[in-house]
Amino acid sequence: MNNGKVNVQVNRNRITLPYITNLSDIIVRTLERYKVDCIYTIFNRLDCIIKRGKDKLGDGNQTGVVYKIECSDCDACYIGQTKRCLETRIKEHRSNINRSENNTRSVNNIVTR
């Protein structure tokens, strides 16, 4: 049933700003002229100041890394990739060299640095 009234829906833009005493009120009045709604946020909340999460892992405890082991005697290097703990993988390299008798001195130097 049409009673002669027309519903007009105005699309308004929105902007999010931190609330700053006195300044925010001036900005809102200015933005109202351009049909922009202002939504306030709190920028100094405690959860923004205090970082949640885990402690940073040391280089040896990182997983999913690409690593490079350089020889101290020559320009040779070994580049590897592991999804496991880097420290564990380096220990495996050292263990393999200690068990193997066919390795040359330079290969030995690369891993045991």
Do 88 and 80 form a contact (C-beta atoms < 8 A)?
A: no
Structure tokens at 49: 């100041």
How do the pLDDT tens digits run along the chain, 113 residues long?
556 666 666 667 888 888 888 888 898 889 888 888 888 887 777 776 776 677 777 777 888 889 888 877 788 888 889 899 989 988 888 888 777 755 555 555 555 55
**H-helix or E-strand containing 99?**
helix 86-99
Where exactly are the structural domains of the chain? Answer: 14-49, 59-112
